[in-house]
Structure 1
Amino acid sequence: MRKSFVVIVLAVLMALYTSLFVVQEGQRGIVLRFGKVLRDSENKPLVYAPGMHFKIPFIETVKSLDARIQTMDNQADRFVTSEKKDLIVDSYLKWRISDFSRYYLATGGGDVSQAEVLLKRKFSDRLRSEIGRLDVKEIVTDSRGKLMSDVRTALNTGTVDDGEEVAASGADDAIASAAARVERETTGKQPPLNSNSMAALGIEVIDVRIKQINLPAEVSDAIYQRMRAEREAVARRLRSQGQEEAEKLRASADYEVTRTLAEAERQARITRGEGDAESAKLFASAFSQAPDFYAFIRSLRAYEASFSNNQDVMVLSPDSDFFRYMKSPDSTRK
């Protein structure tokens, strides 16, 4: 009896445990009974908020949906501006589920990959349309913020026929088909939604950002070569200007050297001339005081200069006045 009681208690506890489920914070829960979604009076899927809830064990299962903001990176793609110039744009967007029941029905059971495929196609089409209206300068400067805002608004509210929109894209057709499926599977009055907006899928785009804008490789190479040629031309011009300035400075320095040397030579000649004049004056004054003595001194200097080299040959008459001081005094008197 006691064992039976224990078994019953364990069975009750097991049933109670399996009948409880917890929806974590940042998630929402949708209960499926035999694979079919539990719905409310308007035939919308019942959405369970975070917390503890009850379900029928072994019959009902729980499908969790992520309520947090999610980031979707887009592969860098080629876009054409209003100037018919190509740009490689790398971007991403942030989104979250705004209507869980609509999202569940539109994506075939809350399939995130299907939602992101539709979101990516719609985002690419919208971004291509917005970039096609702007030139490169507007995209990379002040209009870039407005571009992102316009893309986010168009994704959330959809596009309207304002006379400038092109024909509906494949993404618009897929979103409209998913929105129509939601309308068929629900009853009651639904809020008016644009069938080509992400709101029709129960998705809200929080933010859209461009991470990087590059030129295609062939354009970048051409621009680099042009910039390199321009820099080389500037370098050649600066180099020639430097050489010209160097020649000017060198010529000026040579002129200063020549002028300084000429001035020094002139001063040296003037000083030498003044010294020679003073020397001649002193010599003349001394010579006038003792002519015979200084005549004798000058003759001795002449002898020294003439006979210093043993190889010199002088052809003079012995009676020449040059040798008068080399004769005996008696012969000199005669």
Structure 2
Amino acid sequence: MHKPFMILLIIVLLALYESLFVVQEGQRGIVLRFGKVLREEDNKPLIYNPGLHMKIPFIEKVKNLDARIQTMENQADRFVTMEKKDLIVDSYIKWCISDFSRYYLATGGGDVSQAEVLLKRKFSDRLRSELGKLDVKGIVTDSRNRLMTDVRDALNNGTSGNDEEISATSADNAIASVAEQVEHEANSSQAAVNSNSMAVLGIKVMDVRIKQISLPTEVSDAIYQRMRAEREAVARRHRSQGQEEAEKLRAAADYEVTRTLAEAERQALITRGEADAATAKLYADAFSRAPAFYAFIRSLRAYENSFNSYNDVMILTPDSHFFRFMQSPEDARGKNHP
């Protein structure tokens, strides 16, 4: 008796376990019954908020979808401006799920990668169209914010047939095809949405931003080469001007040196002449007072100049007047007074 009771208890607990499910914070849950989204009487899908909920065990399954804002990084791509100039644009998109039932059906069971593929294709086409209306100056200045707003609104609301747009792109066709499939599976009587907007996928674009705008490699290399050539030309001009100024300064310095040396030499000659004149005057004044002493000094200088070398030879008589100051005083007086 205990064995059937235990089996029954296990079945009840297993059924209770299968009938309860938890939706985590930041998620929303949808219930699938035989693969179909469970809906209310007015054909609106049942969306379960975070918390503990119940379902029919073994028949219904729960799919939890991320309700938080997602960030999709776009690979840098080449775009053409109104001036037919190429730009490399790096951007990202902030998006979230606005209609969980549509999102689930459009992405094949809530596949984020499939949703981002469609969103990226639509975003790329729309951004290419908007950038084609602006020049480079407008893109990198104040028009960028308006550009981002227009792209976001176009993704959320779609474009009307009256807009000056190019024909439907492959992304528009893909989204329209998914929209028809969703409407067919949902069989919904809700108000229709624009078939080329992200709303048909249950997605809302929160923000669109351009991170970086750069030139293609071949264009930037050409610009850098031109800038380098311009800078080199300016450098050569400055160097030639500097060399010219250096030659002028060097010539002026050489002239100033020559003029200063000439003036110094002239002043030195004047000073030396004045000194020689003063010396001669002093000698004349001194020797005029004592002629005998002057004669004695002149003889001594003559002796010094005559006998300054061992190789000098002089042939003179002993009583020559040249040696008068080398004789004894008595001999000198005797010769002077016989």
Do the two structures share a fold, i.e. TM-score over 0.5?
Answer: yes
Q: Cα deviation per residue 1:171-208 (whole Å; 9 max; x = unaligned)? A: 11111222223333345642342211111211100111
Cα shift at 1:286: 1.9
Map Cα deviations across residues 26-85 of structure 1 (whole Å, 9 max, x no partner).
112222223233233344443222222211212221122111111111111111111111
Unaligned runs of 5+ in 1: none
Q: Which moved more, 1:257-266 or 1:289-298?
A: 257-266
- Residue pairs, 1:296-311, within 5 angstroms: 296-311=296-311
Matched AA of 2:69: I
- Backbone CA RMSD of aligned residues: 2.8
Give the direction of change, closer, same or farther, for the CA distance of 1:317–1:44 in structure 2 (3 Å limit): farther
Number of residues of Structure 1 aligned to a counterpart in Structure 2: 334
Name 1:144's counterpart in structure 2. Answer: 144
Q: Do 2:99 and 2:202's aligned partners in 1 also have CA atoms closer than 8 Å?
A: yes
Counterpart of 2:55? 55
Report the equivalent of 1:232.
Answer: 232
CA contact under 8 A between 1:43 and 1:185: conserved in structure 2? no
Please tell me whether the aligned partners of residues 43 and 189 of structure 2 are also in contact (alpha carbons under 8 angstroms).
Answer: no
Match of residue 96 from structure 1: 96
Tell whether the 8 Å contact from 2:92 to 2:209 is kept in structure 1 after alignment: yes
Q: Which runs of 5+ in 2 are unaligned?
A: none
Distance 2:315 2:156 in 1: 130
> Aligned to 2:92, what secondary structure does the other structure show?
strand
| Number of the residue aligned with 1:276 | 276
Give the match for residue 170 of structure 1. 170
Task: Report the residue type matching 1:165 in the other structure.
Answer: E
Contact 1:42 1:188 in 2 (8 A): no
Indicate conservation of the 8 Å contact 1:159/1:197, yes or no: yes
Change (3 A) 1:292 1:155: same
1:25 and 1:268 mapped to 2: Cα distance?
Answer: 104
State the TM-score, normalized to the length of structure 1: 0.88
Give me the whole-angstrom Cα distance separating, in 1, the residues matched to 2:299 and 2:262: 38
Other structure's SS at 1:154 match:
helix
In 2: Cα distance, 1:243 partner to 1:50 partner:
80
| Counterpart residue number, 2:295 | 295
**For residues 55 and 64 of structure 2, what CA distance do their matches in structure 1 show?**
14
> Equivalents in 2 of 1:133, 1:312: separation in Å?
114
My pick for the range that moved more, 117-126 or 35-44, is 35-44
Question: Residues 318-333 of structure 1: matches in 2 within 5 Å?
Answer: 329=332
Instruction: Provide the C-alpha distance between the structure 2 equivalents of 1:42 and 1:320, rounded to a whole number of angstroms.
Output: 163
Query: Aligned equivalents of 1:302 and 1:292: distance in 2?
Result: 15
Structure 2 Cα separation of the partners of residues 8 and 287 of structure 1: 159
Match runs of 1:146-161 below 5 Å = 146-161=146-161
Determine the C-alpha separation between the residues in 1 that align with 2:173 and 2:32.
Answer: 29
